[in-house]
């Protein structure tokens, strides 16, 4: 059991370990409650350590391949065949980058849920479903096979729906979950139809093999449109964003933080399809232009609908839509310039800005949702008109909220500033209007969070509450640590973590060669 063996088998271990823990959870639950809590936290911590361990090797420059069920996990093409025929997990820098986000957010939410979710009969099932959401996200991010992507997308959908409806004693939680389920099922059926179209033409399901065999025929164009529409529907970009405020506001706060990371797993799948599957055979300016337009609409509609909201979590959900617009804008500019010679100067900078924004957004939006959950835990309300004067007694919550609000507005020294600056600079060279709209949206974001801070925390002391329990503060502190770390050393982060990820996404040839050539 030396480190080489662990490193070689870690892609499969990363997915199998939470699955085993999720199936063991009902058995452990019968023993005692404390054992179940400790077991869940230990599994989440071990998972985070495994992901960081694999990330250290992948960012050093070698992508990892794992063939399931083969005699040697590194041989993808068997001796008698010409194409890969088993399920191949391919971990390159972009995949492990997203896996780091998923593992960290689930760890923070798991620690937070120790005190936030009351000790009812259903808490064992809550942890089972949380581990299944982690399996779904990690499976989507580490796989190299199209149908495997669809299966893990459905696992993620079903587990998320069950947890959105967790507070089933209120009616609107169940209704939000129903809306989420209908939209997600339609998106998944579109994905399956597109996979069937691609399989019918090329008889291949492996992403790298499809990328090297694809010719851009009419059926491929239909498949591309279906895939882009389905994944844009799942990540909450305008014009398919109507499920986002309802689903995000009625779920328990820790689940909303995980839903943000789940929407970003769908965003990752969108980028993977556009860059690595279709790549240079595609007419990139059109799809890039479409992504830029989605991004601009999302940014603008998100922030203007957030300003008049009275429910604190609906307001933050609309901001999540607008921040997704930033990511689509950044990577859309990169896709637009992929085949032009300007790519190596500022196209890759735009992609780095968009990808860096993904991890920043997961951290600070997760932190903001966790603080709103802390307010709900003490006051039992989400309405901004009924809050006030909480800054006197809930000091730590107020500090975490200030850090999250400054990060989302893009103020140094927090991490939002670095990624937004990259996006402003690179988008300006394509067209100045993009940067102007982005900066305007940023100012409006700051305005709405000043409003929330004033309503919730400032003013005379109306409610007599005390600070939230320490496990909830510990969960919020995990995310704050990453925010401050990435804010103080953005150069190191962009150079060592974000740039390899953007490079791995942009170079389709390296992706194909890792599976078939190697």
Partner 1 sequence: MRQDEMTPVVRTIAALIFPFIIIFSFYVIMHGHLTPGGGFQGGAIGASAIVMLIVAYGARNVKKKAKEESLSIFESIGGLVFVIVGIIGFVAASSFLYNFLVGEPLFGTIPPFGSNPGILNSGGILPILNIAVGMKVIGGLASVVLVMALAGGDEE
Partner 2 sequence: MIYSIPFYTVIILILVGMYAMIFRRNLIKMAIGLTIVESAVNLFLVTLGYREGGVAPIYTNLPSGIKIPEEMVLPVPQALTLTSIVIGVAILALMLSLSIMIYRHYGTLDSKKVRRLKE
Buried b vs exposed e over 258-273: b needs ≥16 C-beta within 10 Å? bbbbbbbbbbbbbbbb
> What is residue 431's DSSP assignment?
-
Candidates 18, 41, 25, 34; CA nearest to 474 is 41
**Per CB under 8 A, 496 contacts partner 2:** no
- Candidates 43-51, 194-202, 254-262, 505-513: pick the segment binding partner 2 (CB under 8 A): 194-202
Nearest residue (CB) to partner 2, 250 versus 367: 250
Closest approach of partner 2 to the CB of residue 449, in Å: 26
Q: Using the rule CB under 8 A, is 174 a contact of partner 2?
A: yes
Close Cβ partners of 360 (under 8 Å, ≥ 6 residues apart)? 407, 415, 416, 418, 419, 483, 486
CB under 5 to 8 A by kind: which of partner 1, partner 2, none does 194 bind? none
Query: Which is closer to partner 1, CB of 2 or CB of 218?
Result: 2
165 lies in the site for partner 2, by CB under 8 A:
yes
Angle between helices 3-29 and 33-58 (to 10 degrees): 160
In the complex, the smallest distance separating the C-beta of residue 91 from partner 1, rounded to whole angstroms, is 14
Among partner 1, partner 2, none, what does residue 24 contact (CB within 5–8 Å per kind)?
Answer: partner 1
How far CA 469 is from CA of 112, 375, 391, 473, in Å, comes to 9, 12, 16, 7
Considering beta carbons, is residue 27 or 462 the nearer one to partner 1? 27
Q: How far is the CB of 337 from partner 2 (least distance, A)?
A: 36
Query: Which option in partner 1, partner 2, none does residue 210 bind, with CB closer than 5 to 8 A by kind?
Result: none
Considering the rule CB under 8 A, would residue 182 count as an interface residue with partner 2? Answer: yes
We find the least distance from the C-beta atom of residue 233 to partner 1, in angstroms, to be 27
Shorter beta-carbon distance to partner 1: residue 67 or 157: 67
| 405 three-state secondary structure | helix
29 or 246, CB closer to partner 2?
Answer: 246
| CB of 359 vs partner 2, minimal distance in Å | 30
Q: Considering only residues 70, 75, 175, 229, which one is a binding residue for partner 2 as defined by CB under 8 A?
A: 175
Calpha distance 93→95 (Å, rounded)? 6
The span from the CA of 333 to the CA of 336, in Å, is: 5
Name which of 24 and 474 has its Cβ closer to partner 1: 24
How many Cα atoms are found within 13 Å in the side-chain-facing hemisphere of 277?
25
- CB 291 to partner 2: min, Å: 25
DSSP-derived secondary structure letter, 84? -
Cβ 86 to partner 1 shortest distance, Å: 9
In what helix (H) or strand (E) does residue 90 lie, and over which residues does it extend?
Answer: strand 88-91
CA distance 336 to 515: 27
Q: Which of 7, 52, 151, 213 binds partner 2 (CB under 8 A)?
A: 151
Residue 161 interacting with partner 2 (CB under 8 A): yes
Return the structure tokens found at 188. 């998944």
At its nearest, how many Å lie between partner 2 and the CB of residue 147?
A: 6
CA distance linking residue 485 with residue 39, whole number of Å:
29
Report if residue 19 touches partner 2, rule: CB under 8 A: no
From candidates 200, 280, 433, 443, binder to partner 2 by CB under 8 A: 200
Closer residue to partner 1, CB minimum distance, 108 or 132:
132
Q: Which of these, 277, 188, 263, lies nearest to 224 by C-alpha position?
A: 277
For partner 1, the binding residues (CB under 8 A) are: 9, 12-13, 16, 19-20, 23-24, 26-27, 66-73
Taking alpha carbons only, the member of 469, 367, 480, 479 closest to residue 116 is: 469
Binding marks (x or -) toward partner 2, 99..138, rule CB under 8 A? ----------------------------------------
> Closest separation between CB of residue 99 and partner 1, Å?
17
Three-state SS for 92?
coil
Among candidates 245, 269, 272, which has minimal Cα distance to 259?
245
Is the Cβ of residue 137 or residue 426 nearer to partner 1 in the bound state?
137
168 binds, among partner 2, partner 1, none (CB under 5 to 8 A by kind): partner 2
- Identify whether the C-beta of residue 268 lies closer than 8 Å to the C-beta of residue 98: yes
Q: What is the largest CA-CA distance in the chain?
A: 77
CB of 339 to partner 2, least distance (A): 33
My answer on whether omega of the bond before 239 falls inside 30° of 0, hence cis, is yes
Structure tokens, 142: 């580490």
> Interior CA angle at 216 toward 215 and 219, to 5°?
110
Residues 387-446 that bind partner 2 (CB under 8 A): none
Question: Is 368 within 8 Å of 316 (Cβ atoms)?
Answer: yes
229 binds partner 2 (CB under 8 A): no
DSSP reduced 3-state for 312: helix
Packing angle of the helix pair 499-506, 347-379 (nearest 10 deg): 120
Q: Work out whether 508 is an interface residue with partner 2 (CB under 8 A).
A: no
**Residue among 26 and 60 whose Cβ is closer to partner 1:** 26
Structure tokens that stand for 116 in this block: 């936030």
C-alpha 406: how far from chain center: 21
Which member of 185, 285, 339, 471 binds partner 2 (CB under 8 A)? 185
Name the residues that contact partner 2, by CB under 8 A. 147, 151, 154, 157-158, 161-162, 165, 168, 170-172, 174-175, 177-178, 181-182, 185-186, 188-189, 192-193, 196, 199-200, 205
């Amino acid at each position: 059991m030396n480190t080489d063996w662990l490193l070689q088998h870690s892609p499969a271990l990363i997915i199998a370990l939470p699955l085993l823990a999720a199936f063991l959870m009902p058995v452990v639950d019968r023993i005692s409650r404390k054992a179940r809590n400790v077991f869940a936290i230990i599994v989440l911590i071990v998972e985070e350590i495994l992901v960081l361990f694999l990330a250290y090797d992948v960012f050093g420059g070698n992508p990892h391949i794992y063939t399931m069920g083969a005699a040697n996990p590194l041989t993808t093409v068997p001796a008698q065949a010409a194409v890969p025929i088993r399920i191949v997990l391919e971990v390159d820098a972009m995949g492990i980058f997203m896996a780091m986000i998923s593992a960290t957010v689930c760890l923070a939410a798991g620690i937070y849920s120790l005190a936030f979710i009351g000790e009812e009969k259903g808490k064992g099932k809550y942890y089972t479903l949380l581990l299944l959401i982690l399996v779904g996200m990690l499976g989507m991010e580490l796989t190299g096979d199209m149908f495997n992507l669809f299966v893990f997308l459905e696992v993620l959908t079903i587990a998320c729906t069950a947890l959105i409806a967790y507070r089933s004693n209120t009616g609107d939680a169940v209704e939000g979950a129903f809306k989420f389920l209908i939209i997600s099922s339609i998106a998944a059926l579109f994905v399956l139809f597109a996979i069937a179209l691609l399989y019918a033409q090329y008889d291949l399901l492996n992403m790298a093999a499809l990328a090297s065999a694809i010719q851009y025929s009419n059926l491929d164009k239909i498949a591309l449109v279906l895939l882009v529409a389905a994944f844009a529907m799942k990540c909450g970009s305008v014009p398919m964003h109507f499920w986002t405020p309802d689903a995000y506001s009625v779920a328990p706060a820790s689940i909303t933080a995980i839903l943000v990371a789940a929407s970003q797993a769908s965003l990752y799948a969108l980028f993977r399809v556009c860059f690595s599957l279709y790549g240079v055979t595609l007419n990139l300016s059109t799809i890039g232009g479409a992504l830029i337009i989605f991004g601009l609409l999302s940014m603008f509609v998100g922030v203007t609908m957030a300003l008049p909201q009275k429910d604190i979590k609906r307001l933050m959900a609309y901001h999540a839509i607008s921040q997704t617009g930033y990511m689509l804008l950044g990577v859309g500019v990169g896709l637009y310039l992929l085949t032009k010679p300007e790519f190596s100067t500022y196209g890759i900078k735009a992609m780095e800005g968009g990808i860096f924004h993904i991890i920043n957004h997961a951290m600070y939006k997760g932190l903001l949702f966790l603080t709103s959950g802390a307010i709900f835990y003490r006051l039992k309300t989400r309405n901004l008109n009924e809050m006030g004067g909480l800054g006197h007694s809930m000091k730590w919550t107020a500090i975490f909220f200030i850090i999250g609000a400054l990060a989302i507005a893009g103020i140094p020294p927090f991490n939002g500033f670095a990624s937004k600056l990259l996006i402003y600079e690179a988008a300006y060279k394509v067209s100045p209007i993009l940067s102007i709209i982005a900066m305007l949206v940023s100012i409006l974001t700051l305005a709405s969070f000043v409003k929330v801070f004033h309503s919730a925390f400032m003013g005379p002391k109306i409610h007599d509450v005390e600070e939230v329990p320490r496990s909830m503060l510990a969960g919020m502190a995990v995310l704050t640590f990453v925010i401050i770390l990435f804010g103080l050393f953005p150069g190191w982060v962009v150079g060592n973590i974000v740039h390899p990820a953007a490079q791995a996404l942009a170079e389709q040839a390296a992706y194909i060669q890792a599976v078939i050539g190697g």
